[in-house]
Structures are given as C-alpha cells and as structure tokens.
C-alpha cells in the first residue's frame, strides 16, 4: 500500500501506439497493480442527439471530452476509492449504458490523444509521456483498426482523417509534446524508452511507500 497512487499520462496521436506502450508498461509491473483509464471512454454522452448529428461531432477537439468526469474519477482513485468507468460505443458515437467497475490500484495510466492538453490532468500526473509516430504509420494503423473494429468504411476514414483528424492533430495534439517528460518514438516497439520509464515508476513507488 502506498500513500498515493502513481499517475502516468500516455498521450500521442491516433494510431501512434499509445495502447501498445500502455500494455508493455502494464506487463512490466506484474507484481504491482495497474489500472488503465482511457480518455476515449470519457467522450461526452451524446445519447440525446440524433445519430446524424453525432456523426458531425468533432471527436478530435478537446471539447469533445468530459474531462470533469474523468478528473473526478482520477481523484477518487487517488483516494483509493472505486469508480464506475463509462464505456464508449464507437459504432453509435455515444456513451453506452454499461459501466465497468474499477477498483483503485497503486499505478494509474491515463491514456488518450489529448490527456496532456488539460492543465488539470497534467497537474495530476507524476510522469507524462508522448508517443511520437510518423503520420503515415498512424493513418495506416487507423485505417486497419477503424475498418476492422469500429464499423467504418475506407472512404469515411480518409475523409475524417483529412477534414478533422489531421488538422486537429496539428492544432491540439502535437503541441502537447512540449509538456511530456519523455517522448517515445516508435511506440510499443521502443523497449529502451519503456524500460527507462518502468525504472522511474519503480523509483517513485519506492519513494511513496511508507511501509
Ligand atoms: O484510439 P484512438 O486514440 O485512435 O482514439 C481517438 C480517435 O477516435 C480520435 O482521433 C477520433 O477521431 C476517433 N473517434 C471516432 N468516432 C467517435 C469517437 C472517436 O472516430 N465516435
């Protein structure tokens, strides 16, 4: 048991490899308990809007997220209280009616495209990471994932990327790189960077341990 959980922010563009970095860190800490909080699950609830309107939403803008709810959940986990994490439905572009019960853990990873954009979130983090991957790799990964897992067509992925994802990345996501303590090129394949981060997490855990 530690005085306060360690909080790690993992930011980076869509398709940059954030999830793979998070998974690799998670695997390094089998003996410690880690909880992953995905910012995507905290997209604003749009169930009161018609489907056509939900399609028009800019999901790459900071205002698309319910960061107030996300922050209140992080604060609960920091106090070692459990939360009901929302679940996001990408096919219907809104929050699902289900929630996931999440028990507090010693390490909290907050992962998402804009987790370094909100100063309140940054102030909660002990370590801030930015996964930096070239745009051509990111669009290829996104195309594969959105068609396979998120019910999209190739045409819709291309048009969303050119009209929204790319300009929002340049305007809002890329500039948050300057807030990162560590910039990780090549995502989850960068084992040296992930080992360095894992060592730092262990040091913080040792410092915070009061037993
Ligand atoms: O997992 P990843 O970081 O790629 O998730 C963020 C992306 O999800 C954003 O770039 C946004 O365009 C996309 N998204 C979407 N439709 C939604 C919600 C998010 O395409 N309804």
ipTM for this model = 0.98
CATH classification of the domain holding 178: 3.40.50.300
Q: Residue 39 Cα, ligand 1 centroid: separation in angstroms? A: 10
- Tell me if 145 is assigned to some domain: yes
Please state, in angstroms and rounded to a whole number, the distance separating the CA atoms of residues 158 and 30: 39
- Tell me if 211 is assigned to some domain: no
Please answer whether residues 142 and 15 qualify as being in contact, where contact means their C-beta atoms are separated by less than 8 angstroms.
yes
- Tell me if 186 is assigned to some domain: yes
Residue 123 structural domain: 6-205
13-31 pLDDT, tens digit per residue, is 999 999 999 999 988 887 6
Q: Is ligand 1 within 6 A of the CB of residue 14?
A: yes
**Cα torsion for 204, 10, 74, 102, to the nearest 10°?**
-100
Q: Which residues are annotated as a binding site for ATP?
A: 12-19
Surface-to-core class of residue 172, CB atoms within 10 Å of its CB (0-12 exposed, 13-18 middle, 19+ buried): middle
161-184 pLDDT, tens digit per residue, is 999 999 999 999 999 999 999 999
- Tell me if 55 is assigned to some domain: yes
- Tell me if 62 is assigned to some domain: yes
54-89 pLDDT, tens digit per residue, is 999 999 999 999 999 999 999 999 999 999 999 999
- Tell me if 146 is assigned to some domain: yes
Please answer whether residues 115 and 59 qualify as being in contact, where contact means their C-beta atoms are separated by less than 8 angstroms.
no
For atom 19 of ligand 1, the residue with the nearest CA is 59
Domain total in the chain: 1
- Tell me if 75 is assigned to some domain: yes
Please state, in angstroms and rounded to a whole number, the distance separating the CA atoms of residues 113 and 176: 10
């Amino acid at each position: 048991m530690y005085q306060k959980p360690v909080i790690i922010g993992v930011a980076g563009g869509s398709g940059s490899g954030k999830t793979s970095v998070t998974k690799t860190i998670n695997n390094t800490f089998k003996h410690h308990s880690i909880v992953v909080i995905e910012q995507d699950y905290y997209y604003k609830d749009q169930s009161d809007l018609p489907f056509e309107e939900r399609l028009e939403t800019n999901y790459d803008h900071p205002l698309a997220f319910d960061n107030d709810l996300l922050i209140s959940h992080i604060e609960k986990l920091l106090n070692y209280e459990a939360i009901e994490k929302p679940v996001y439905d990408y096919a219907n572009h809104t929050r699902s009616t289900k929630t996931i019960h999440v028990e507090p853990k010693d390490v909290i990873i907050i992962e998402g495209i804009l987790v370094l954009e909100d100063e309140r979130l940054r102030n909660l983090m002990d370590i801030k990471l930015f996964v930096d991957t070239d745009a051509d790799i990111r669009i290829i990964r996104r195309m594969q994932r959105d068609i396979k897992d998120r019910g999209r067509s190739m045409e819709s992925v291309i048009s969303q990327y050119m009209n929204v994802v790319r300009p929002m990345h340049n305007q809002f996501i890329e500039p948050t790189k300057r807030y990162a303590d560590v910039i990780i090129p090549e995502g989850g394949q960068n084992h040296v960077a992930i080992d360095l981060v894992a060592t730092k997490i262990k040091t913080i855990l040792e410092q915070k341990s009061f037993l």
